[in-house]
């Protein structure tokens, strides 16, 4: 099972990856909120970029977080909400003419989830 299966279908269908949670800003915040409400522990996030021709990569995307495993579910969610929003703002300010689209790859604790 992919981590996407742990999200609501409405959020999961917005992912640009079929295996990983890779969402645009608003959907990423929705995913963080969904995880917090459903007691799913977020371990971190990293930025991804999608070029106009559909290629994805990291390029100048925000680096993201280190492991949040030591935080509570609530604290990890709050940290992700704050840092994702701040990273999106900073990226858009530093790349005002970018044609790439910014996405956020969210990693969750999937221990015990069948693969």
Does 38 fall in a domain?
yes
The answer on pLDDT for 115 being more than 90 is no
Do 4 and 18 form a contact (C-beta atoms < 8 A)?
yes
Return the pLDDT at 1.
53
- pLDDT tens readout for residues 33-71: 999 999 999 999 999 999 999 999 887 788 888 789 999
Does 44 fall in a domain?
yes
Does 114 fall in a domain?
no
Among candidates 10, 62, 11, which has minimal Cα distance to 32?
11
- pLDDT tens readout for residues 17-32: 998 999 999 999 999 9
Both structure tokens of 35 = 């995880």
Residue 71 belongs to domain spanning: 22-108
Q: How much is the pTM?
A: 0.90
3-state SS of 40-94? CCEEEEEEEEECCCCCEECCCCCCCCCCCCCCCHHHHHHHHHHHHHHHHHHHHHH
Band (112; pLDDT cuts 50, 70, 90): very low
What is the tally of structural domains in the chain?
1
Does 13 fall in a domain?
no
């Amino acid at each position: 099972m992919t981590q996407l299966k742990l999200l609501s279908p409405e959020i999961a269908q917005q992912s640009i990856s079929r295996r990983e949670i890779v969402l645009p800003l608003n959907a990423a915040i929705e995913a963080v909120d969904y995880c917090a409400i459903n007691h799913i522990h977020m371990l971190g996030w990293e930025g991804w970029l999608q070029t106009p021709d559909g290629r994805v990569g990291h390029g100048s995307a925000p680096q993201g977080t280190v492991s949040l495993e030591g935080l509570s579910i609530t604290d990890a969610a709050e940290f992700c909400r704050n840092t994702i929003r701040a990273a999106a703002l900073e990226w858009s300010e530093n790349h005002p003419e970018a044609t790439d689209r910014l996405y956020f790859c969210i990693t969750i604790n999937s221990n015990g989830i069948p693969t």
